[in-house]
Chain A
Amino acid sequence: MQEPKSGVKGADQKLNITTIPHIITGQDILAWIVTKMKVSTEEAQAFGTMLVAFGYIYPLQNHKKLVLVPDSTQYRFQTPYFWPAQKWPAEDTDYAIYLAKRNIRKKGMLEPYEQQHYNNFHKWMNYKWDFIVMQATEQYKASKERKKPDRVVLDCQERAYWIVQRPPRRTHSAMDTGLDRLIDPNAEEILTFDVVRRTNIFLTQALMRSAVKSSVSLTAFVKYVTTHHVHDPFLTSPVPSNPWITDSDDFWQLNSRNVEIPTKLSVDRWALSFWELISDPRGRADFKLFLKKEHSGENMAFYEAAEEMRWGAATAIPEKSQFIFNTFLKPGAPRWINIDGRTMGLTVKGLDCPHRYVLDAAQTHIFLLMKKDTFYRYLKSPVYKDMQKRALVPAPHNFTDVQLEANAKNRNPGVSPIIQWQQQETEKAAAAAAARPIDVKAMLATNKLDRK
């Protein structure tokens, strides 16, 4: 970049009375980056700002604002001595010397934040303050020996260096790298006997596992992307409109879990796979309706109960497993699920010492049953076909600018998720109560049954 012929065009520039050599303007830097790196203007701007932020190029006038301004703002290349790539640690001692030097040259020239640093150093480095002042004086004397233009240039360079290394209040420093890693990843890994043995076991197992041909798995990705293309709001504009763009939350209202009539897009998405169907709360509700009509609701209920146990609290496991056994697995249970004898045997045996994964085998069996059989019957059923007919196709919004402004002022705060959760829990409890078998004796006792 600094090449006289192929680099950024530089020129001499008068600053106050002295002439500073090799000034480059922001727009020239930008143009050069665009041509050399073959990128867009905005990208070149971002890249240029990085160069300035890290101190490879420094601005002359507004020296605290480290961005690349693409106009006639003046910049200079920083001398390699001060490049961050040199990795000199910017010691506090050096900074103190620099500040002291500036103070010697002209008292009261330090900015407030620099003054604060200086005062701090004076307090904490008092024991070597003589050394610091001596160094500062030496450097000051040495700089006086130099010619004025060189001195100005050197001052600018040094000042730019310290702006990067010790950023002023409320600015960001590009040198900030956050926390250090705990374990040094570049340190050689100590390959103990045990480590290597475990690696070998892992590799042997990996070899035993079969992998799929690339053509098969990659085609699957393409297929997934294609089928979900219309459902992706970034690729297909959502109807009626994207809430973030138009400030109207109709899209969320039309797709909520309690909505009476779902949108056509949702209904189509349910048909993509069983997993998509039950992942959408509205879809799951529709599926349960279908199961109720078929009198096979126990499968879904078992699946949900097993999921609850798997992901639930550890203390709830014994109670849940007892409930599940009594409701679904015990011979003569009110909602007995139809699984093969072997799985049933294993599951019941496992329930003696229940752990959260004890129902895995049964759950997988039921899930596959629903996925391979019930799901396809659902898609052909009147319940689903009716839903497809009734599904809404909302018209896209066409807001005027005035309307958009009004929307922005009246954003719907919606319902708090905490309240929604409480509602869901009450609904679930009511459904569970309704599903419990009716106790005839209890009803007789309360005289609810009229035998006349």
Chain B
Amino acid sequence: MRFSMNPEMATQEVQPSETLSNLKAESDSLKTKLEDERAKLHDVELHQVAEKVDGLGQFIMKTRRTLKGHGNKVLCMDWCKDKRRIVSSSQDGKVIVWDAFTTNKEHAVTMPCTWVMACAYAPSGCAVACGGLDNKCSVYPLSLDKNENLAAKKKSVAMHTNYLSACSFTNSDMQILTSSGDGTCALWDVESGQLLQSFHGHAADVLCLDLAPSETGNTFVSGGCDKKANVWDMRSGQCIQSFETHESDINSVRYYPSGDAFASGSDDATCRLYDLRADREVAIYSKESIIFGASSVDFSLSGRLLFGGYNDYTINVWDVLKGTRVSILFGHENRVSTLRVSPDGTAFCSGSWDHTLRIWA
């Protein structure tokens, strides 16, 4: 939304300077009207509905595996659909594919740039995508031959004008969705490197994105430094919903398993739940004792638990329905930068600036 004003182009009827203030007034009145309309439908709070639900017992979650091998801060990780392999990327440019169950390293790639902030595993399990300060997203096909140099078959797919903050394959190996520090998200065709659709609307760096798990599979949500979380239609490129209730950068967004809601983690030390059908924020997960930002969030399989990795080296586990904190996990020696639940929900993996990844179950 950053177009410079061209007087000839902008004016259709009247002088631009006159109508700008009118438009702003109209904007404010529309906003108030929308808030009123939404407020009329808000007849109950989440924790009230959750009163009938049983409370959760004590949880014993421990580190089951510690993956050591990165020489620098771990920035991002993703699970393979086989539920046991993961790919992780770090500040020194290394991208490693692990079999987390046996803790063996299976593949390693050295990127030509540092700060590889985004990595993703392809749905087929045959490739990984990664990118960062090189402003690109590259796809590396994996090979069964351990001695093969994976960098030889690298394919450059996405090209942004600034750092790549997040990437994700869609339902196949052939398309990638990326978000960048230049404020845009984009959908790319892997084979040709063609830009299929671009998404403009954030006013600052976009830090995270997540694809909707629903049967229609046509939308995704992105969160940015402008404190907004936007829901986009992949087909048309339009922003269909927008939420601006956080007080600082949104570091992570993740869809609720049913696809009707999403959670976000932010530097304002809160995680929030947004209901897409009611078009509003429905829960805030925060505590006075938590003053550090949440860098990464993910749901458990049923959506009852929300795991949040924070910058104070801890992981907080929230009861999504009741809004209370169920557990706090210690172990990392530096901030937790990334957190994902495994595809079958049996464990979750956290990556940290202390160079390690931990699997918790």
CB of A429 within 8 Å of the partner chain: no
Minimum CB–CB distance from A171 to chain B (whole Å) comes to 10
B260–A214 CB distance below 8 A: no
Q: CA separation between A251 and B181, bound complex, in Å?
A: 41
- Which residue of B has the minimal Cβ distance to A218? B49
Q: CA separation between A412 and B256, bound complex, in Å?
A: 32
The residue among A190, A202, A308 with the most chain B CB atoms within 10 A of its own CB is A202
The B-contacting residues of A in range 301-316, CB under 8 angstroms, are 307-308, 310-315
A172–B312 CB distance below 8 A: no
With contacts A183-B225, A413-B99 known, is A234 near B23, CB below 8 A?
no
The A-contacting residues of B in range 139-166, CB under 8 angstroms, are 142-144, 162-163
Query: In the complex, which residues of chain A have a beta carbon less than 8 angstroms from the beta carbon of B305?
Result: 232, 234-235
- Which residue of B has the minimal Cβ distance to A281? B81
Mark each residue of chain A from 168 to 211: 1 if its CB lies under 8 Å from any CB of chain B, else 0. 00001000101101111100011111111111101111110101
Q: CA separation between A194 and B33, bound complex, in Å?
A: 21
The residue among A190, A194, A204, A312 with the most chain B CB atoms within 10 A of its own CB is A194
Q: CA separation between A339 and B330, bound complex, in Å?
A: 56
Q: CA separation between A193 and B302, bound complex, in Å?
A: 45
B181–A181 CB distance below 8 A: yes
B10–A194 CB distance below 8 A: yes
With contacts A46-B330, A194-B5 known, is A314 near B194, CB below 8 A?
yes
Query: In the complex, which residues of chain B have a beta carbon less than 8 angstroms from the beta carbon of A46?
Result: 312-314, 328, 330
Minimum CB–CB distance from A209 to chain B (whole Å) comes to 8
Query: In the complex, which residues of chain A have a beta carbon less than 8 angstroms from the beta carbon of B241?
Result: 206
- Which residue of A has the minimal Cβ distance to B326? A234
With contacts A183-B205, A225-B53 known, is A313 near B190, CB below 8 A?
yes
CB of A260 within 8 Å of the partner chain: no
CB of B242 within 8 Å of the partner chain: yes
Of A23-31, A141-149, A239-247, the segment with at least 4 beta carbons within 8 Å of chain B is A239-247
The A-contacting residues of B in range 6-50, CB under 8 angstroms, are 10, 16, 19-20, 23-24, 26-27, 30-31, 33-34, 37-38, 41-46, 49-50
Mark each residue of chain A from 415 to 449: 1 if its CB lies under 8 Å from any CB of chain B, else 0. 01111110000000000000000000000000000
Of A10-18, A36-44, A72-80, A114-122, the segment with at least 4 beta carbons within 8 Å of chain B is A36-44
B5–A193 CB distance below 8 A: yes
A50–B292 CB distance below 8 A: yes
Query: In the complex, which residues of chain A have a beta carbon less than 8 angstroms from the beta carbon of B344?
Result: 233, 252, 255
The B-contacting residues of A in range 325-370, CB under 8 angstroms, are 357, 364, 367
Chain B interface SS verdict (over half):
loop
B289–A47 CB distance below 8 A: yes
A193–B191 CB distance below 8 A: no
Please give the number of chain A residues whose Cβ is less than 8 angstroms from any Cβ of chain B in the complex.
92
Minimum CB–CB distance from B326 to chain A (whole Å) comes to 10
Query: In the complex, which residues of chain B have a beta carbon less than 8 angstroms from the beta carbon of A244?
Result: 64-65, 101, 346-347, 359, 361
Query: In the complex, which residues of chain A have a beta carbon less than 8 angstroms from the beta carbon of B1?
Result: 194-195, 198
- Which residue of A has the minimal Cβ distance to B224? A185
The residue among B126, B279, B313, B346 with the most chain A CB atoms within 10 A of its own CB is B346
A202–B288 CB distance below 8 A: no
B interface, size bucket: 35 or more
Query: In the complex, which residues of chain A have a beta carbon less than 8 angstroms from the beta carbon of B314?
Result: 43, 46
* Partner among B4, B34, B52, B277 whose Cβ is within 8 Å of the Cβ of A192: B4
B20–A312 CB distance below 8 A: no
Q: CA separation between A203 and B35, bound complex, in Å?
A: 10
Minimum CB–CB distance from A285 to chain B (whole Å) comes to 16
Query: In the complex, which residues of chain B have a beta carbon less than 8 angstroms from the beta carbon of A195?
Result: 1-3
CB of A292 within 8 Å of the partner chain: no
* Partner among A214, A235, A414, A421 whose Cβ is within 8 Å of the Cβ of B300: A235
B82–A420 CB distance below 8 A: yes
With contacts A42-B328, A224-B303, A421-B124 known, is A200 near B361, CB below 8 A?
no
Query: In the complex, which residues of chain B have a beta carbon less than 8 angstroms from the beta carbon of A364?
Result: 216
Query: In the complex, which residues of chain B have a beta carbon less than 8 angstroms from the beta carbon of A43?
Result: 289, 314, 328
* Partner among A185, A216, A226, A275 whose Cβ is within 8 Å of the Cβ of B227: A185
- Which residue of B has the minimal Cβ distance to A45? B330
Minimum CB–CB distance from B47 to chain A (whole Å) comes to 10
CB of A220 within 8 Å of the partner chain: yes
Query: In the complex, which residues of chain A have a beta carbon less than 8 angstroms from the beta carbon of B53?
Result: 222, 225-226
CB of A217 within 8 Å of the partner chain: yes
CB of A231 within 8 Å of the partner chain: yes
Q: CA separation between A255 and B342, bound complex, in Å?
A: 15
* Partner among A193, A205, A367, A421 whose Cβ is within 8 Å of the Cβ of B19: A193
Q: A213-B278, A234-B304, A417-B125 are in contact. List 5 more A-B contacts (CB 8 A).
A: A182-B204, A204-B30, A207-B30, A207-B34, A220-B260
A residues whose Cβ falls under 8 Å from a Cβ of B = 37, 39-40, 42-43, 45-47, 49-50, 172, 176, 178-179, 181-185, 189-200, 202-207, 209, 211-222, 224-226, 228-229, 231-235, 238, 242-245, 249, 251-252, 255, 274-275, 307-308, 310-315, 357, 364, 367, 411-414, 416-421
B residues whose Cβ falls under 8 Å from a Cβ of A = 1-5, 10, 16, 19-20, 23-24, 26-27, 30-31, 33-34, 37-38, 41-46, 49-50, 52-53, 56, 59, 61, 64-65, 73, 80-85, 99, 101-102, 104, 106, 115, 117, 124-126, 133, 142-144, 162-163, 170-172, 174-175, 181-183, 189-192, 194, 196, 203-205, 214-216, 225-227, 235, 239-242, 249, 256-258, 260-261, 275, 277-280, 282, 288-289, 292, 300-305, 312-314, 320-321, 328, 330, 333-334, 344-347, 353-354, 359, 361
